[in-house]
Structure 1
Amino acid sequence: MSFNIGLSGIRAAASDLNITGNNIANAGTVGFKSSRAEFADVYAASVLGSGSYATGSGVALANAAQLFNQGNISFTENSLDLAINGNGFFVTSNNGALSYTRAGYFGTDANGFIVNNNGENLQGFGVNAVTGQINQGVQTNLRVDTRSADPNETSAVVTTLNLNSTQTRPEVYVQQYDAAYAASIATAADPANPTPAEIATAEAAALDAARSTFDPTNSATYNSSTSVNIYDSLGNSHVMTKYFVKNDANSWDMYVLIDGRDIQSGVEASDPAFDPLATTRFDVDFNSVGELTTNQPYTIAGWVPLDSEGQPTGATSPVDDLTVNLTGSTQYASSFAVTAVSQDGFTTGELAGLEIDDTGLLVARYTNGQTRVQGQVVLATFANQQGLTPLGSTAWAQSFSSGDPVVGAPTTGTLGSIQSGALEDSNVDISEQLINLIVAQRNYQANAKTIQTEDAVTQTIINLR
């Protein structure tokens, strides 16, 4: 009996050594979870029980339990290296066969799919091609779309600015206005006493004459200007410039040109055929406390995008619903200043980088400054993690004991968060494992001594005469 007891002890100590050695061997394995040997004593029992004074029959390895406590997180330079901070496993697929891992070595294959270092596809939620929203609950192989980002034509330009209330009308404007007014009044039936209608006619003629002096190439014909880049439907960049000319105490003319051309005719401002009276102009009025009173926004219709040679770019022509909004602009006694400007268009963009946030959203960043969500990494958890079946390569498979996986987005429920550009280290404590080696060695030696002692006793009996 003692031989068997000692032998069981040696086997148990050897198993302990194997488990401890495996832990030490994988101390540098990303996502590895250490194991521990769990032993149970053995008693021989008959059908009616083992009795009150049963002696033990040795020891058996009851379980090699894996410890799923958190490992340290080390940061890397690869945005597709992922670490889980908290509960959960990455889900990977090998042609439909699912496995679960904490090792976050990920990259892309030749087709753009995100795979681990074993070539298995990382699972996640895809994106609805129409709405651009995450398809919650529908797992798929995550893929990085490397195509260029589509351009978006500008439909709205929003500018907030201050027009200097102390500025006066341009000198050439005043001169032309006065001359035209005097000339018109001179044609009245009684120039010394013109009728209200004749005065109104003279003022209209004078205003047209004054406005005809506007010349975008001559800064003496306007008070202030500001520009912003806008985009057509093909992503071509154009420059929209707004010119402001004061025509009364609280009233301004705003002229709008695109690429230095009249919006309707496409004539360049430097061309003799350029007609200031026919170009796009809007009234900008303020009240006595400097607040904008003109209804917003202004609408520009009929713009035909042209290239630098004045030829159509092939973009949408005309671009509909192009608006200019000055809401929030003021007229105070301070220098002209643009405090905010924005527009909703952008050119085409190439993929510049990938980012994965703590909720698992895969965000593509493009050279045009835009971002686009391309999917969401999912995590899985189990009611009994100890019941998972080890597959090797730091992966586990679902088993009957583990229960079904609960799959969801990171940070939801009991699932942890994801750290991009990082990996989870092995949770092996080398100091603890070295001590375990010493203990297992002592156990092995002690059980061998049991066998040696039993052998000596047996030999004594054999030697009896």
Structure 2
Amino acid sequence: MAGFNIAVTGLKASSTMLDVAGNNIANSSTVGYKSSRTEFGDIYTASVVGSGSSNTPGSGVTVSNIAQDFSSGTLEFTNNNLDLAINGSGFFQLDDQQGGITYSRAGAFELDKEGYVVSKDGKRLQGYGLDDKENRLPIGDLAVTQKEYPPKATSDMDLAFNIDDREDSTTLLPNYDKDKAGSYTYSTTVRTFDSLGNEHTVKYNMVEQRPEQEYKKYITAPASDVLISGAPAITVALAVGVPTAAAGFAQVTTTAKGPTGNNQEIWRLQDPVLKDLQETDPRIFAVEYYPDGAGSGELKIITRADSLEFGDLVVTDNAATPASLVPTATDTTGFVSSNEKQYFEFNAANFPTNTFNIKIAGVDIDISTGTGGMSAELVALAIRDRESDIIEANPLIQSVSWDADQGTNGALRVEYKPEVTPGSLNSVSVGVFDDNVSQLFAADSVAGGALDAHFTEPGDNSYDGVYRVYAYLNGDEALDLGKANDPGNGSATEPGPILIKFDPTSGILSSVNGEEVRTGAAVPDLLIKGADPANPNNVITLNLAGSTQFASDSIIKASDQDGYPKGDLIGVSFSGTGDMIAAFSNGEELKIGVVAIASFENQAGLQPSGDTEWSATLASGGALMNPPGTGLNGLLRSAALEQSNVDLSAELVKLIEAQRNFQANSKTLETLNTVTQSILQI
């Protein structure tokens, strides 16, 4: 009887259903496991009798397929960054290094001794390597091969701050001192790193420009020589109340206001005596004498703008027992202007054809014109070649140059430093010492006389919102921020302060080291030299964008630099798009690879191969590899594992169903056996 075979197929199918449900229940806690279900098909032996009819009862049941459910399981978060889960579709690709490629949803990975990312059974996770520009390389084994991160010297620095507009610059100490907080308005320190990874600091001191003033003390001079300050003291010979050229004085022919009225005769102390005096006491700017015509007069001593107090400046007579001379009046007249420029015009009609000597601010210059004369511009350029000597002898001068656009034939331009401005229009002496004076200088008609400036161009007399910025390496060594080097031709710089300016009406940064900050344009960068002791050629680019001068507390609004020391590997993490990121002890991170996710045209065609892994088959098609989050691939979750998608309640119900089916098929066998016994007993 066929019924016995039919009942047997039912028993076999029920047993398979029990096996599948039992396997699901057994793997209900297996990471990445996908539940299976038993699919049945009936068995018929076709025997057609007549059209559209059949008289066969069927041959039983068969297990047509054990299908897997690839729906995602619940994500459970862990404390291990190497635990990975795919939030969506896709599979991890694993390589066993023996030619076997499998696919898995179980993302419990770890690093082996060689730095490869491997599964629990040692198979290597596949992904994209990256080159130096983070371009993806062909798919291969993902590995962490960089165990340390080399140091990087600081090359870019951003600093934004607010300086309190309510700060009063007149309360600052008269002499700037980097070690005295009362001599600067605001200070901040930023850390940097050299090329070997050593940490340093750059301290910025910002000094608001004081309203420029010159303090003049008038002293009733005796009918004798005087001694002025210093060690050793400098003797100024007055020759019984009348100064002499031999003592270093020269008569100034311009009018000026002295202590007793206008249009007084003025004698001014010249180099080299003045230079010697300034070396003994650098606060002194100038010394002038106003004779009264009666054998005496007024001695005027002018101090620099940034040294408003005389302090230990002592003026005594030259008697056997010197007595201090007491100031009789003090004048606080402001300087002419900051960045004052003076122009001296040449007469180009007839230059001398022989060798002659000129003197600019105490510096002698020999000029050989040769046959045929020399143009005014070439004479000026010859003077320009001695610019450094002129500046060295006169520290108030910033530059000496030729300006072809001034006057008829051009003019020699003398520009003063913005920090210290001259006290008069005649502080620079330009003279000629031969018989051809009238031929060389149009404004001078006296042989050997000093040439006054043909005209003076005032500078900016407003100091509101103007700051000198100093920088120091480790709080001690002055740094080069771009201050024009003497002679200030723009091609070289030296350590020292640069100027920044804020618009007094808006508090917005308006100028950086002489470069205008235009609305909506980028703020000019400053180049810091000397801040890397390990590599003197390293230059740091400093940007002050966002800095302001508002009436609020002085604060740092932003501070950043791109240097760091050497770092050791402390961990690996993954982004949602599969980026494998190595973290180092110096705070830096490095993207070292990208996880590859496999997808299939027919994932139901994958062949289970154990260890919650599958192999590709002809039915599934080849793997399509792409990063997470692209196409239909799910995103990657680090420090998470996908749990089994087994529904225990459903599996227990399936056990009941399989048991019932088994019992029913057993009953079929029992019934058939009874029928058979009955037949045998007939």
TM-score by length of 1: 0.82
Q: In the aligned structure 2, how far is the partner of 1:57 from the partner of 1:330?
A: 92
Q: Which runs of 5+ in 1 are unaligned?
A: 175-212, 266-277, 307-314
Selected match of 1:450 from 668, 671, 676: 668
SS of corresponding position for 1:145: coil
Equivalent positions of 1:78-97 (< 5 A) are 78-95=80-97, 96-97=99-100
- Report the equivalent of 1:234: 196
- Which residue number corresponds to residue 500 of structure 2? 284
The answer for the alignment partner of 1:250 in structure 2 is 465
Structure with higher Rg: it is 2
Contact (CA 8 Å) 2:47, 2:56: kept in 1 or not? no
* Structure-2 separation of matches of 1:33 and 1:148: 40
| Alignment match of 1:125 (pick from 116, 120, 128) | 128
Give the match for residue 178 of structure 1.
Answer: none
CA shift, 1:171, in A, is 5.6
Contact 1:263–1:304 (CA under 8 A) maintained in structure 2: no
TM-score by structure 2 length? 0.56
SS at match of 2:549: coil
Q: Distance in 2 between matches of 1:159 and 1:93?
A: 50
Cα distance in 1 for residues equivalent to 2:628 and 2:55: 55
Mapping of residues 156-305 of structure 1, within 5 Å: 156-169=156-169, 174=174, 213-247=175-209, 248-263=463-478, 279-289=495-505, 290-294=507-511, 295=515, 296-301=524-529, 303=530, 305=532
Q: How does 1:322-401 map to 2 (within 5 A)?
A: 322-401=540-619
What CA deviation, in whole Å up to 9, does each residue of 1:391-431 have, x standing for no partner? 01100000000111121111111111122111111111111
> How far is 1:99 from its partner?
0.4
| 3-state SS, counterpart of residue 13 of structure 2 | helix
SS in 2 for 1:350: strand
Question: Out of 48, 53, 56, which is 1:54 matched to?
Answer: 56
Secondary structure of residue in 2 paired with 1:253: strand
* Residues 257 and 280 in structure 1, CA contact (< 8 A), matched pair in contact too: no
- Percent identity between matched residues is 38
Q: 1:304 to 1:239 in 2, by over 3 A?
A: closer
Q: Indicate the residue corresponding to 1:319 in structure 2.
A: 538
Measure the CA separation in 1 of the matches of 2:179 and 2:18.
88
RMSD: 2.2
| Map of 2:11 onto structure 1 | 10
Deviation at 1:46, TM superposition (A): 6.0
* Structure 1 residues 116-140: Cα deviation after superposition (integer angstroms, max 9, x where no partner): 1010001111111x213433xx211
* TM alignment of 1:60-79, pairs within 5 A: 60-79=62-81
Aligned pairs, how many? 402
Residues 79-158 of structure 1: pairs in structure 2 closer than 5 A: 79-95=81-97, 96-128=99-131, 130-135=132-137, 138-158=138-158
Tell me, in whole angstroms, the C-alpha distance in 2 between the residues paired with 1:215 and 1:349: 38
Counterpart CA distance in 1 for 2:479 and 2:644 is: 68
Report the AA paired with residue 451 of structure 1: L
Q: Give the Cα–Cα distance (whole angstroms) in 2 for the partners of residues 10 and 38 of structure 1.
A: 15
Alpha-carbon distance in structure 1 between the residues aligned to 2:581 and 2:565:
19
Deviation of 1:37 after TM superposition, in Å, equals 0.9
Per-residue deviation, 1:77: 1.4
Gaps (5+ residues) in structure 2?
210-462, 481-493, 516-523
1:245-283: CA deviations, max 9, x gaps? 122333211111111232469xxxxxxxxxxxx742111
For residue 220 of structure 1, report the CA deviation from its aligned partner.
Answer: 2.4
CA distance in 2, matches of 1:304, 1:225: 18
The 10-residue stretch of structure 1 (329-338 or 100-109) with the greater mean CA deviation from structure 2: 329-338
Please say if residues 124 and 141 of structure 1, whose CA atoms lie closer than 8 Å, have aligned partners that are also in contact.
Answer: yes
Distance of 2:69 and 2:531 partners within structure 1: 68
Q: Is the partner of 1:56 in helix, strand or coil?
A: coil
- What secondary structure, in the 3-state scheme, does the structure 1 residue paired with 2:32 have? coil
Q: Which structure is higher in helix share? A: 1
Cα 1:332–1:446, aligned 2, differ >3 Å: closer, same or farther?
A: closer
State the distance in 1 between where 2:94 and 2:671 align.
Answer: 54
The one-letter amino acid paired with 1:305 is D
1:19-30 matches, cutoff 5 A: 19-30=20-31
* In structure 1, C-alpha distance between the alignment counterparts of 2:525 and 2:42, rounded to whole Å: 85
Q: Which amino acid aligns with 1:297?
A: D
**Letter of the 1:251 counterpart:** V
| Alpha-carbon distance in structure 1 between the residues aligned to 2:75 and 2:4 | 48
Runs of 4+ in 1 over 4 A off after TM superposition: 46-51, 170-173
Task: Give the secondary structure class of the aligned counterpart of 2:499.
Answer: strand
Decide whether aligned partners of structure 1 residues 168 and 279 sit closer, same or farther in structure 2, where only a CA change above 3 A counts: farther
Residues 8 and 665, structure 2, Cα contact 8 Å, conserved in 1: yes
